[in-house]
Amino acid sequence: MKIPVRYNHVGYAPDDAKIFFVNPAELPVQGRIMPEECFFCLVRQTVRSETVWEGTFSMGTFEHRGACEYTGEVLWTGNFSEVRDPGLYSIQIWRRGSAEKETLLYETAPFEISSVWFFRQLIANIKSFYYQRSGVELTPDFAGKWVRPASHLDDSIKFHPSMERSGIWNAHGGWYDAGDYGKYIVNGGVSVGTLLLVCDIAETASEGSGLKSSADSVEYDQSFMLDKVIRGNAPIELQDGLKMYSLKEEIRFELEFFLRMQDADGGVFFKVTPAHWDGFISPRDSDLLQERYVLGKSTTSTLNFAGALAMASRVYRGSDAAFAERCLQSAVAAYRWAASRPFVDWPHNTEGSGGYGDDRADDEFFWARAVLYRELQTRGAECGEWFGDLTAESLRQQLVAEMDALPPKFGLDWRDTQNFGWIVLALQDFDKELQQRARESLEKTALQIIDAQKQDAYGISVSKFIWGSNGEVANHALTLAIVNRWTPTVGGESLSFWCRELVNFIYGRNPVDVSFVTGSAWSSPMDPHHRLSHSDGVKEPIPGLLVGGINCDRQDTHRAPHYPGALPGFSYTDERCSFASNETAINWNAPLTAVLALLCF
Protein backbone atom coordinates (compact mmCIF):
# COMPACT_ATOMS: atom_id res chain seq x y z
CA MET A 1 0.00 0.00 0.00
CA LYS A 2 1.27 3.46 -0.84
CA ILE A 3 1.90 5.92 1.99
CA PRO A 4 -0.13 9.06 1.29
CA VAL A 5 0.99 11.10 4.31
CA ARG A 6 4.33 12.93 4.33
CA TYR A 7 5.40 13.67 7.90
CA ASN A 8 8.41 13.51 10.20
CA HIS A 9 8.58 9.82 11.08
CA VAL A 10 10.55 10.45 14.27
CA GLY A 11 8.57 13.34 15.68
CA TYR A 12 8.22 17.00 16.53
CA ALA A 13 9.24 19.16 19.47
CA PRO A 14 6.32 20.42 21.59
CA ASP A 15 6.67 24.09 20.65
CA ASP A 16 7.59 23.51 16.99
CA ALA A 17 5.35 23.78 13.96
CA LYS A 18 3.84 20.41 13.05
CA ILE A 19 3.12 20.51 9.35
CA PHE A 20 2.48 17.49 7.19
CA PHE A 21 1.44 16.89 3.59
CA VAL A 22 -0.99 14.48 1.96
CA ASN A 23 -0.92 13.19 -1.58
CA PRO A 24 -4.63 12.60 -2.25
CA ALA A 25 -3.82 10.50 -5.32
CA GLU A 26 -2.45 7.83 -2.98
CA LEU A 27 -5.53 7.67 -0.73
CA PRO A 28 -7.63 4.52 -1.21
CA VAL A 29 -10.56 6.26 -2.93
CA GLN A 30 -12.00 6.25 -6.41
CA GLY A 31 -12.21 9.45 -8.42
CA ARG A 32 -11.07 12.90 -7.51
CA ILE A 33 -11.27 13.92 -3.88
CA MET A 34 -11.18 17.49 -2.53
CA PRO A 35 -9.75 18.70 0.79
CA GLU A 36 -13.13 19.74 2.17
CA GLU A 37 -14.32 16.12 1.92
CA CYS A 38 -11.77 15.06 4.54
CA PHE A 39 -10.67 15.99 7.99
CA PHE A 40 -7.73 14.69 9.96
CA CYS A 41 -7.27 13.92 13.60
CA LEU A 42 -4.37 13.04 15.81
CA VAL A 43 -4.78 10.04 18.08
CA ARG A 44 -2.65 9.58 21.18
CA GLN A 45 -1.57 5.98 21.46
CA THR A 46 -3.24 5.24 24.78
CA VAL A 47 -5.79 2.66 25.87
CA ARG A 48 -8.58 5.11 25.06
CA SER A 49 -7.04 6.27 21.75
CA GLU A 50 -7.97 9.81 22.63
CA THR A 51 -8.56 12.24 19.80
CA VAL A 52 -6.71 15.44 20.60
CA TRP A 53 -7.11 17.51 17.43
CA GLU A 54 -9.23 17.74 14.33
CA GLY A 55 -8.71 19.94 11.32
CA THR A 56 -9.10 20.40 7.59
CA PHE A 57 -6.56 20.69 4.80
CA SER A 58 -5.41 23.58 2.65
CA MET A 59 -4.34 23.31 -0.96
CA GLY A 60 -0.65 23.73 -1.68
CA THR A 61 2.31 24.10 0.66
CA PHE A 62 3.65 27.42 1.94
CA GLU A 63 3.59 29.64 -1.18
CA HIS A 64 3.73 26.76 -3.64
CA ARG A 65 0.63 25.97 -5.67
CA GLY A 66 -0.03 23.35 -8.27
CA ALA A 67 1.90 20.18 -8.98
CA CYS A 68 5.31 19.50 -7.46
CA GLU A 69 7.89 20.04 -10.18
CA TYR A 70 9.88 16.89 -9.41
CA THR A 71 7.12 14.42 -8.43
CA GLY A 72 3.97 15.60 -10.19
CA GLU A 73 2.04 15.48 -6.89
CA VAL A 74 -0.56 18.04 -5.90
CA LEU A 75 -0.19 18.10 -2.13
CA TRP A 76 -2.54 19.14 0.65
CA THR A 77 -1.21 20.66 3.85
CA GLY A 78 -2.24 19.87 7.42
CA ASN A 79 -1.06 21.69 10.53
CA PHE A 80 -1.47 20.45 14.10
CA SER A 81 0.99 22.85 15.75
CA GLU A 82 -1.41 23.42 18.66
CA VAL A 83 -0.76 19.89 19.91
CA ARG A 84 2.09 20.17 22.39
CA ASP A 85 1.69 17.52 25.07
CA PRO A 86 4.51 14.94 24.96
CA GLY A 87 3.54 11.46 23.87
CA LEU A 88 3.07 9.12 20.93
CA TYR A 89 0.66 10.14 18.18
CA SER A 90 -0.54 9.08 14.77
CA ILE A 91 -2.26 10.96 11.97
CA GLN A 92 -5.53 9.59 10.66
CA ILE A 93 -7.12 10.63 7.37
CA TRP A 94 -10.91 10.34 7.27
CA ARG A 95 -13.48 10.93 4.55
CA ARG A 96 -16.79 12.49 5.44
CA GLY A 97 -19.64 11.15 3.31
CA SER A 98 -22.83 12.93 2.15
CA ALA A 99 -24.77 11.63 5.14
CA GLU A 100 -21.99 12.36 7.59
CA LYS A 101 -20.82 8.79 7.27
CA GLU A 102 -17.17 8.75 8.15
CA THR A 103 -14.63 6.40 6.61
CA LEU A 104 -11.07 5.95 7.86
CA LEU A 105 -8.82 6.14 4.82
CA TYR A 106 -5.35 5.92 6.35
CA GLU A 107 -3.44 6.00 9.64
CA THR A 108 0.27 6.66 9.96
CA ALA A 109 2.77 4.79 12.07
CA PRO A 110 3.27 6.40 15.50
CA PHE A 111 5.60 9.34 15.97
CA GLU A 112 6.49 11.27 19.09
CA ILE A 113 6.04 14.76 20.34
CA SER A 114 9.01 15.29 22.60
CA SER A 115 11.60 17.90 23.50
CA VAL A 116 14.44 15.38 23.40
CA TRP A 117 14.22 13.51 20.12
CA PHE A 118 16.66 15.97 18.53
CA PHE A 119 19.07 15.16 21.35
CA ARG A 120 18.59 11.42 20.96
CA GLN A 121 19.31 11.68 17.25
CA LEU A 122 22.33 13.88 17.97
CA ILE A 123 23.79 11.15 20.16
CA ALA A 124 23.31 8.58 17.39
CA ASN A 125 24.90 10.88 14.82
CA ILE A 126 27.94 11.64 16.96
CA LYS A 127 28.45 7.97 17.70
CA SER A 128 28.25 7.09 14.00
CA PHE A 129 31.71 8.62 13.59
CA TYR A 130 33.05 6.14 16.16
CA TYR A 131 31.78 3.28 14.00
CA GLN A 132 33.71 4.80 11.05
CA ARG A 133 37.02 4.55 12.91
CA SER A 134 39.85 2.84 11.06
CA GLY A 135 42.81 0.98 12.47
CA VAL A 136 41.49 0.35 15.99
CA GLU A 137 39.38 -2.27 17.69
CA LEU A 138 35.74 -1.38 18.30
CA THR A 139 35.06 -2.88 21.72
CA PRO A 140 31.79 -4.34 23.08
CA ASP A 141 31.34 -1.63 25.72
CA PHE A 142 31.22 1.01 22.97
CA ALA A 143 30.15 -0.85 19.83
CA GLY A 144 27.79 -3.50 21.18
CA LYS A 145 26.94 -5.98 18.43
CA TRP A 146 28.88 -3.92 15.89
CA VAL A 147 32.25 -4.93 17.39
CA ARG A 148 35.17 -5.07 15.01
CA PRO A 149 38.84 -6.10 15.32
CA ALA A 150 41.59 -3.62 14.53
CA SER A 151 42.25 -3.65 10.80
CA HIS A 152 43.71 -1.30 8.21
CA LEU A 153 46.37 -0.20 10.68
CA ASP A 154 47.96 1.87 7.89
CA ASP A 155 51.03 2.51 10.06
CA SER A 156 53.53 1.26 7.51
CA ILE A 157 52.16 1.67 3.99
CA LYS A 158 53.80 2.55 0.69
CA PHE A 159 53.40 5.62 -1.45
CA HIS A 160 51.26 5.13 -4.53
CA PRO A 161 53.33 4.16 -7.61
CA SER A 162 52.17 7.33 -9.37
CA MET A 163 54.13 9.39 -6.82
CA GLU A 164 57.47 7.79 -7.74
CA ARG A 165 58.51 8.05 -4.12
CA SER A 166 60.14 5.29 -2.14
CA GLY A 167 59.73 4.49 1.52
CA ILE A 168 56.77 3.92 3.83
CA TRP A 169 54.43 6.19 5.76
CA ASN A 170 52.40 6.08 8.97
CA ALA A 171 48.82 7.06 8.12
CA HIS A 172 47.22 5.26 11.04
CA GLY A 173 43.73 6.08 12.29
CA GLY A 174 41.08 8.41 10.98
CA TRP A 175 37.55 7.79 9.80
CA TYR A 176 36.53 5.82 6.76
CA ASP A 177 35.09 8.44 4.48
CA ALA A 178 31.90 6.84 3.23
CA GLY A 179 30.70 3.42 2.16
CA ASP A 180 34.22 2.49 1.09
CA TYR A 181 37.51 2.08 2.96
CA GLY A 182 39.25 5.19 1.71
CA LYS A 183 40.41 7.97 4.05
CA TYR A 184 40.50 11.48 2.61
CA ILE A 185 41.81 14.86 3.74
CA VAL A 186 39.56 16.95 1.49
CA ASN A 187 36.29 15.37 2.56
CA GLY A 188 37.56 14.85 6.07
CA GLY A 189 38.49 18.51 6.24
CA VAL A 190 35.04 19.87 5.50
CA SER A 191 33.55 17.30 7.90
CA VAL A 192 35.93 18.15 10.75
CA GLY A 193 35.54 21.87 10.11
CA THR A 194 31.76 21.59 10.34
CA LEU A 195 31.91 19.66 13.60
CA LEU A 196 34.50 22.04 15.06
CA LEU A 197 32.06 24.91 14.48
CA VAL A 198 29.71 23.20 16.92
CA CYS A 199 32.44 22.75 19.51
CA ASP A 200 33.56 26.35 19.08
CA ILE A 201 30.04 27.67 19.60
CA ALA A 202 29.62 25.35 22.59
CA GLU A 203 32.82 26.75 24.11
CA THR A 204 31.30 30.23 24.13
CA ALA A 205 27.82 29.12 25.19
CA SER A 206 26.78 29.49 28.82
CA GLU A 207 28.05 26.80 31.16
CA GLY A 208 25.57 24.06 31.90
CA SER A 209 23.53 24.59 28.77
CA GLY A 210 21.77 21.53 27.53
CA LEU A 211 18.88 19.27 28.27
CA LYS A 212 18.54 19.03 32.02
CA SER A 213 15.86 16.39 31.91
CA SER A 214 14.19 14.15 29.43
CA ALA A 215 11.29 13.13 31.60
CA ASP A 216 8.79 13.96 28.85
CA SER A 217 10.27 11.43 26.45
CA VAL A 218 8.28 8.26 25.96
CA GLU A 219 11.34 6.06 25.77
CA TYR A 220 14.42 8.01 26.78
CA ASP A 221 14.08 8.84 30.45
CA GLN A 222 17.72 9.37 31.42
CA SER A 223 19.01 12.89 31.97
CA PHE A 224 21.95 14.04 29.90
CA MET A 225 23.94 17.22 29.74
CA LEU A 226 24.45 18.52 26.24
CA ASP A 227 27.74 20.03 27.33
CA LYS A 228 29.12 16.55 28.13
CA VAL A 229 28.01 15.16 24.80
CA ILE A 230 29.71 17.99 22.91
CA ARG A 231 32.76 18.84 25.03
CA GLY A 232 33.19 16.10 27.64
CA ASN A 233 36.55 14.44 28.26
CA ALA A 234 35.30 11.16 29.74
CA PRO A 235 33.29 8.39 28.03
CA ILE A 236 29.56 8.83 28.46
CA GLU A 237 27.34 5.98 29.64
CA LEU A 238 24.20 5.66 27.52
CA GLN A 239 20.83 4.28 28.49
CA ASP A 240 21.31 1.20 26.30
CA GLY A 241 24.35 0.25 28.41
CA LEU A 242 26.90 1.27 25.79
CA LYS A 243 29.39 4.11 25.99
CA MET A 244 30.24 6.92 23.58
CA TYR A 245 32.88 9.59 23.23
CA SER A 246 31.94 13.24 23.14
CA LEU A 247 31.98 15.04 19.82
CA LYS A 248 35.17 16.82 20.80
CA GLU A 249 36.94 13.56 21.62
CA GLU A 250 35.69 11.89 18.44
CA ILE A 251 36.95 14.77 16.30
CA ARG A 252 40.37 14.44 17.89
CA PHE A 253 40.65 10.88 16.60
CA GLU A 254 40.34 12.23 13.05
CA LEU A 255 42.68 15.14 13.77
CA GLU A 256 45.43 12.77 14.89
CA PHE A 257 45.16 11.10 11.49
CA PHE A 258 45.31 14.50 9.80
CA LEU A 259 48.54 15.33 11.60
CA ARG A 260 50.08 12.08 10.42
CA MET A 261 49.23 13.00 6.83
CA GLN A 262 51.42 16.14 6.83
CA ASP A 263 54.77 15.82 5.11
CA ALA A 264 57.96 17.35 6.49
CA ASP A 265 57.73 20.27 4.04
CA GLY A 266 54.24 21.24 5.32
CA GLY A 267 52.27 19.81 2.40
CA VAL A 268 49.51 17.31 3.17
CA PHE A 269 48.88 14.03 1.40
CA PHE A 270 45.52 13.73 -0.31
CA LYS A 271 44.23 10.33 0.78
CA VAL A 272 44.82 6.74 1.79
CA THR A 273 43.49 4.32 -0.79
CA PRO A 274 43.35 0.60 -1.44
CA ALA A 275 44.85 -0.50 -4.74
CA HIS A 276 41.40 -1.46 -6.08
CA TRP A 277 37.78 -1.05 -5.05
CA ASP A 278 36.90 -3.48 -2.26
CA GLY A 279 33.85 -5.68 -2.51
CA PHE A 280 31.40 -5.78 0.38
CA ILE A 281 33.97 -7.39 2.63
CA SER A 282 35.21 -6.58 6.12
CA PRO A 283 38.24 -4.39 6.80
CA ARG A 284 40.13 -7.49 7.95
CA ASP A 285 39.43 -9.32 4.67
CA SER A 286 40.38 -6.19 2.77
CA ASP A 287 43.70 -6.20 4.60
CA LEU A 288 44.33 -9.78 3.48
CA LEU A 289 43.47 -9.16 -0.16
CA GLN A 290 45.29 -5.99 -1.17
CA GLU A 291 47.73 -3.23 -0.33
CA ARG A 292 46.88 0.29 0.68
CA TYR A 293 48.75 3.42 -0.36
CA VAL A 294 49.28 7.06 0.51
CA LEU A 295 48.46 9.39 -2.37
CA GLY A 296 48.95 13.14 -2.99
CA LYS A 297 49.89 16.08 -2.15
CA SER A 298 47.67 18.90 -3.43
CA THR A 299 46.90 22.52 -2.66
CA THR A 300 43.28 21.73 -1.79
CA SER A 301 44.15 18.93 0.64
CA THR A 302 46.80 21.09 2.27
CA LEU A 303 44.44 24.06 2.71
CA ASN A 304 41.65 21.81 4.05
CA PHE A 305 44.19 20.68 6.62
CA ALA A 306 45.25 24.26 7.38
CA GLY A 307 41.69 25.50 7.90
CA ALA A 308 40.61 22.54 10.02
CA LEU A 309 43.74 22.46 12.20
CA ALA A 310 43.61 26.19 12.84
CA MET A 311 39.98 25.80 13.95
CA ALA A 312 41.02 22.88 16.16
CA SER A 313 43.67 24.99 17.87
CA ARG A 314 40.97 27.30 19.21
CA VAL A 315 38.68 24.46 20.33
CA TYR A 316 41.32 22.42 22.20
CA ARG A 317 43.27 25.29 23.75
CA GLY A 318 41.45 25.13 27.06
CA SER A 319 41.67 21.35 27.50
CA ASP A 320 45.04 20.50 25.93
CA ALA A 321 47.29 23.47 25.28
CA ALA A 322 50.13 21.36 23.86
CA PHE A 323 47.86 19.69 21.31
CA ALA A 324 46.33 23.05 20.39
CA GLU A 325 49.78 24.54 19.76
CA ARG A 326 50.74 21.57 17.60
CA CYS A 327 47.56 22.05 15.57
CA LEU A 328 48.22 25.74 14.98
CA GLN A 329 51.88 25.32 14.08
CA SER A 330 50.95 22.55 11.65
CA ALA A 331 48.21 24.73 10.14
CA VAL A 332 50.66 27.59 9.56
CA ALA A 333 53.18 25.24 7.95
CA ALA A 334 50.48 23.88 5.66
CA TYR A 335 49.31 27.37 4.70
CA ARG A 336 52.86 28.42 3.85
CA TRP A 337 53.26 25.34 1.62
CA ALA A 338 50.04 26.16 -0.22
CA ALA A 339 50.81 29.88 -0.50
CA SER A 340 54.06 29.03 -2.27
CA ARG A 341 52.25 26.58 -4.55
CA PRO A 342 48.91 28.28 -5.42
CA PHE A 343 47.62 25.28 -7.31
CA VAL A 344 49.09 21.81 -7.14
CA ASP A 345 46.47 19.62 -8.80
CA TRP A 346 44.67 16.81 -7.03
CA PRO A 347 45.96 13.27 -7.79
CA HIS A 348 43.83 11.98 -10.64
CA ASN A 349 43.43 8.45 -9.32
CA THR A 350 39.99 6.97 -8.73
CA GLU A 351 40.75 3.25 -8.72
CA GLY A 352 39.94 2.07 -5.24
CA SER A 353 38.72 5.37 -3.83
CA GLY A 354 36.91 8.59 -4.70
CA GLY A 355 38.53 11.39 -6.64
CA TYR A 356 37.35 14.57 -4.88
CA GLY A 357 38.75 16.54 -7.77
CA ASP A 358 38.69 20.33 -7.53
CA ASP A 359 40.03 22.72 -10.15
CA ARG A 360 40.24 25.80 -7.91
CA ALA A 361 41.57 26.59 -4.46
CA ASP A 362 40.51 30.20 -3.85
CA ASP A 363 37.68 29.11 -1.55
CA GLU A 364 40.05 26.96 0.53
CA PHE A 365 42.49 29.89 0.75
CA PHE A 366 39.65 32.11 2.01
CA TRP A 367 38.76 29.57 4.71
CA ALA A 368 42.35 29.14 5.88
CA ARG A 369 43.07 32.88 5.86
CA ALA A 370 39.95 33.71 7.86
CA VAL A 371 40.84 31.25 10.62
CA LEU A 372 44.51 32.25 10.72
CA TYR A 373 43.51 35.93 10.81
CA ARG A 374 41.34 35.20 13.82
CA GLU A 375 44.17 33.35 15.56
CA LEU A 376 46.66 36.15 14.91
CA GLN A 377 44.27 38.80 16.19
CA THR A 378 43.25 36.91 19.30
CA ARG A 379 46.56 35.22 20.16
CA GLY A 380 49.22 37.18 18.32
CA ALA A 381 51.13 38.09 21.45
CA GLU A 382 51.69 34.46 22.41
CA CYS A 383 52.02 32.75 19.02
CA GLY A 384 53.16 35.46 16.62
CA GLU A 385 56.58 33.87 16.19
CA TRP A 386 55.00 30.84 14.52
CA PHE A 387 53.59 33.06 11.78
CA GLY A 388 56.85 34.86 10.96
CA ASP A 389 56.22 37.46 8.26
CA LEU A 390 52.59 36.35 7.90
CA THR A 391 50.75 39.29 9.46
CA ALA A 392 47.16 40.00 10.41
CA GLU A 393 47.22 43.07 8.18
CA SER A 394 48.24 41.11 5.09
CA LEU A 395 45.67 38.41 5.76
CA ARG A 396 42.92 40.99 6.25
CA GLN A 397 43.77 42.71 3.00
CA GLN A 398 43.45 39.42 1.14
CA LEU A 399 40.21 38.57 2.91
CA VAL A 400 38.57 41.85 1.93
CA ALA A 401 39.37 41.19 -1.73
CA GLU A 402 38.18 37.59 -1.50
CA MET A 403 34.87 38.58 0.07
CA ASP A 404 34.04 40.39 -3.17
CA ALA A 405 34.97 37.37 -5.30
CA LEU A 406 33.55 34.57 -3.13
CA PRO A 407 30.01 35.32 -1.90
CA PRO A 408 28.42 32.80 0.49
CA LYS A 409 26.69 29.79 -0.97
CA PHE A 410 23.53 28.23 0.42
CA GLY A 411 25.72 25.71 2.20
CA LEU A 412 29.14 24.16 2.57
CA ASP A 413 30.42 21.27 0.49
CA TRP A 414 33.80 19.66 -0.02
CA ARG A 415 34.39 21.45 -3.32
CA ASP A 416 33.29 24.95 -2.22
CA THR A 417 34.35 25.81 1.30
CA GLN A 418 34.14 29.61 1.38
CA ASN A 419 31.24 29.55 3.83
CA PHE A 420 33.73 28.56 6.54
CA GLY A 421 35.47 31.88 6.02
CA TRP A 422 32.20 33.82 6.14
CA ILE A 423 31.06 32.01 9.29
CA VAL A 424 34.38 32.53 11.10
CA LEU A 425 34.32 36.25 10.29
CA ALA A 426 30.67 36.53 11.32
CA LEU A 427 31.21 34.85 14.69
CA GLN A 428 34.37 36.77 15.71
CA ASP A 429 33.99 40.07 17.53
CA PHE A 430 37.37 41.84 17.27
CA ASP A 431 36.91 43.21 13.72
CA LYS A 432 33.46 44.78 13.75
CA GLU A 433 33.66 45.94 10.13
CA LEU A 434 34.29 42.45 8.76
CA GLN A 435 31.83 40.97 11.24
CA GLN A 436 29.03 43.25 10.04
CA ARG A 437 29.82 42.56 6.39
CA ALA A 438 29.94 38.81 6.97
CA ARG A 439 26.70 38.78 8.94
CA GLU A 440 24.84 40.85 6.38
CA SER A 441 26.02 38.56 3.58
CA LEU A 442 25.02 35.40 5.44
CA GLU A 443 21.66 36.89 6.38
CA LYS A 444 21.02 37.66 2.70
CA THR A 445 21.94 34.06 1.86
CA ALA A 446 19.65 32.75 4.60
CA LEU A 447 16.74 34.75 3.20
CA GLN A 448 17.45 33.32 -0.26
CA ILE A 449 17.31 29.82 1.22
CA ILE A 450 13.97 30.58 2.86
CA ASP A 451 12.57 32.10 -0.33
CA ALA A 452 13.49 28.90 -2.16
CA GLN A 453 11.83 26.81 0.56
CA LYS A 454 8.60 28.80 0.37
CA GLN A 455 8.32 28.12 -3.36
CA ASP A 456 8.95 24.37 -3.05
CA ALA A 457 6.23 21.76 -2.61
CA TYR A 458 8.18 20.02 0.18
CA GLY A 459 9.64 23.17 1.75
CA ILE A 460 13.24 22.48 0.74
CA SER A 461 15.78 24.75 -0.91
CA VAL A 462 17.68 22.53 -3.34
CA SER A 463 17.35 23.38 -7.01
CA LYS A 464 18.25 19.86 -8.16
CA PHE A 465 18.62 16.53 -6.39
CA ILE A 466 22.34 15.80 -6.74
CA TRP A 467 24.53 13.03 -5.35
CA GLY A 468 24.30 13.51 -1.59
CA SER A 469 21.25 15.76 -1.75
CA ASN A 470 20.51 15.05 1.91
CA GLY A 471 23.91 16.51 2.76
CA GLU A 472 23.00 19.58 0.73
CA VAL A 473 19.69 19.92 2.59
CA ALA A 474 21.52 19.56 5.92
CA ASN A 475 24.10 22.17 4.91
CA HIS A 476 21.38 24.66 3.98
CA ALA A 477 19.82 24.02 7.39
CA LEU A 478 23.23 24.63 8.97
CA THR A 479 23.46 28.07 7.34
CA LEU A 480 20.10 28.96 8.88
CA ALA A 481 21.15 27.57 12.27
CA ILE A 482 24.40 29.56 12.22
CA VAL A 483 22.70 32.85 11.34
CA ASN A 484 20.20 32.10 14.09
CA ARG A 485 23.08 32.44 16.58
CA TRP A 486 22.95 36.23 16.27
CA THR A 487 19.46 36.97 14.94
CA PRO A 488 16.24 34.92 15.21
CA THR A 489 14.68 36.37 12.06
CA VAL A 490 15.66 37.68 8.64
CA GLY A 491 13.17 39.57 6.52
CA GLY A 492 10.52 38.76 9.12
CA GLU A 493 11.08 35.02 8.70
CA SER A 494 11.94 32.70 11.60
CA LEU A 495 15.27 30.99 10.98
CA SER A 496 14.49 28.24 13.48
CA PHE A 497 11.19 27.42 11.76
CA TRP A 498 12.69 27.08 8.30
CA CYS A 499 15.71 25.19 9.61
CA ARG A 500 13.44 22.62 11.23
CA GLU A 501 11.40 22.32 8.04
CA LEU A 502 14.55 21.11 6.27
CA VAL A 503 15.19 18.64 9.10
CA ASN A 504 11.64 17.32 8.66
CA PHE A 505 12.48 16.42 5.06
CA ILE A 506 15.47 14.34 6.17
CA TYR A 507 13.47 12.46 8.79
CA GLY A 508 10.58 11.38 6.59
CA ARG A 509 8.60 14.27 5.15
CA ASN A 510 9.77 13.63 1.61
CA PRO A 511 8.45 12.05 -1.60
CA VAL A 512 9.90 8.59 -0.91
CA ASP A 513 8.62 8.31 2.70
CA VAL A 514 12.01 7.47 4.19
CA SER A 515 13.66 8.69 7.36
CA PHE A 516 17.11 8.87 5.80
CA VAL A 517 19.14 8.22 8.99
CA THR A 518 19.80 4.56 9.79
CA GLY A 519 18.11 3.37 12.96
CA SER A 520 16.03 6.53 13.41
CA ALA A 521 12.53 5.27 12.50
CA TRP A 522 10.49 2.41 11.06
CA SER A 523 11.26 3.67 7.55
CA SER A 524 15.03 4.05 7.92
CA PRO A 525 17.37 2.45 5.36
CA MET A 526 18.22 -1.18 6.01
CA ASP A 527 20.55 -1.76 3.05
CA PRO A 528 22.82 1.27 2.72
CA HIS A 529 25.76 1.19 0.33
CA HIS A 530 28.16 0.77 3.23
CA ARG A 531 30.77 -1.96 3.41
CA LEU A 532 31.02 -1.94 7.19
CA SER A 533 27.29 -2.57 7.59
CA HIS A 534 27.24 -5.41 5.07
CA SER A 535 30.28 -7.29 6.33
CA ASP A 536 29.73 -7.44 10.09
CA GLY A 537 27.14 -10.22 10.25
CA VAL A 538 24.60 -7.91 11.91
CA LYS A 539 21.20 -7.55 10.24
CA GLU A 540 20.71 -3.91 11.19
CA PRO A 541 23.04 -1.35 9.64
CA ILE A 542 25.26 0.75 11.85
CA PRO A 543 22.94 3.41 13.35
CA GLY A 544 23.14 7.16 12.97
CA LEU A 545 24.30 7.26 9.34
CA LEU A 546 22.73 9.69 6.86
CA VAL A 547 22.41 8.23 3.37
CA GLY A 548 22.83 10.39 0.28
CA GLY A 549 19.17 10.45 -0.67
CA ILE A 550 17.32 11.41 -3.83
CA ASN A 551 19.69 11.76 -6.80
CA CYS A 552 18.09 12.49 -10.14
CA ASP A 553 21.29 11.67 -12.07
CA ARG A 554 21.06 7.98 -11.08
CA GLN A 555 24.68 7.15 -11.90
CA ASP A 556 24.10 3.56 -10.76
CA THR A 557 21.47 2.44 -13.27
CA HIS A 558 23.92 -0.12 -14.67
CA ARG A 559 23.54 -1.91 -11.31
CA ALA A 560 19.77 -2.16 -11.92
CA PRO A 561 18.42 -0.54 -8.73
CA HIS A 562 14.63 -0.44 -8.38
CA TYR A 563 13.77 3.24 -8.24
CA PRO A 564 10.08 3.76 -7.32
CA GLY A 565 9.28 6.15 -10.18
CA ALA A 566 10.66 7.81 -13.27
CA LEU A 567 10.36 11.42 -12.10
CA PRO A 568 13.38 13.07 -10.41
CA GLY A 569 11.83 13.19 -6.94
CA PHE A 570 11.57 9.41 -6.82
CA SER A 571 15.29 8.80 -7.46
CA TYR A 572 15.98 6.93 -4.23
CA THR A 573 15.96 3.26 -3.35
CA ASP A 574 17.03 1.42 -0.22
CA GLU A 575 19.28 -1.10 -1.95
CA ARG A 576 22.94 -1.87 -1.43
CA CYS A 577 23.67 -1.57 -5.14
CA SER A 578 22.44 2.03 -5.25
CA PHE A 579 25.65 3.86 -4.53
CA ALA A 580 24.16 6.97 -6.16
CA SER A 581 21.32 7.29 -3.65
CA ASN A 582 22.01 5.03 -0.67
CA GLU A 583 25.66 5.47 0.21
CA THR A 584 26.69 7.11 3.48
CA ALA A 585 29.40 9.75 3.92
CA ILE A 586 30.89 11.68 6.82
CA ASN A 587 30.44 15.00 5.00
CA TRP A 588 26.66 14.43 4.91
CA ASN A 589 26.54 13.30 8.53
CA ALA A 590 28.58 16.26 9.78
CA PRO A 591 26.14 19.08 8.89
CA LEU A 592 23.18 17.11 10.19
CA THR A 593 25.07 16.51 13.44
CA ALA A 594 25.85 20.22 13.65
CA VAL A 595 22.24 21.25 13.03
CA LEU A 596 20.88 18.84 15.64
CA ALA A 597 23.39 20.18 18.16
CA LEU A 598 22.60 23.83 17.45
CA LEU A 599 18.87 23.14 17.70
CA CYS A 600 19.53 21.63 21.14
CA PHE A 601 21.51 24.63 22.45
Nearest alpha-carbon partner for 599 in 111, 116, 86: 116
pLDDT at site 115: 87
Instruction: Please give the CATH topology (third level) of the domain spanning 5-113.
Output: Immunoglobulin-like (2.60.40)
The string of pLDDT tens digits covering residues 208-238 is 444 333 334 334 433 457 889 999 998 999 8
What gap in Å lies between CA 465 and CA 455, rounded to an integer?
Answer: 16
Instruction: Give alpha helix (H) positions in 242-320.
Output: 247-260, 283-289, 299-316
Q: Which of 92-101, 122-131, 263-272 has the lowest mean pLDDT?
A: 92-101
The string of pLDDT tens digits covering residues 513-569 is 999 999 999 999 999 999 999 999 999 999 999 999 999 999 999 999 999 999 999
**pTM to 2 decimals?**
0.96
What gap in Å lies between CA 461 and CA 540, rounded to an integer?
Answer: 31
The two domains 5-113 and 117-600 share their CATH topology (first three levels equal): no
**Is residue 96 very low, low, confident or very high in pLDDT (cuts 50, 70, 90)?**
confident
* b/e sequence 114-151, b meaning 16+ C-beta within 10 Å: bbbbbbbbbbbbbbbbbbbbbbbebeeebbbebebeeb
Q: What is the mean pLDDT of the chain?
A: 93
Whole-angstrom CA distances from 13 to 41, 84, 88, 227, 528 are 18, 8, 12, 20, 28
What gap in Å lies between CA 142 and CA 308, rounded to an integer?
Answer: 27
Beta-carbon count within 10 A of 401 CB: 11
pLDDT at site 98: 59
Task: Give the DSSP letter string of 316-354.
Answer: HTTT-HHHHHHHHHHHHHHHHHHHTSTTPPPP---SSS-
What gap in Å lies between CA 322 and CA 316, rounded to an integer?
Answer: 9
Domain covering 117-600: architecture? Alpha/alpha barrel (1.50)
Q: Which residue ranges make up each domain of the chain?
A: 5-113, 117-600
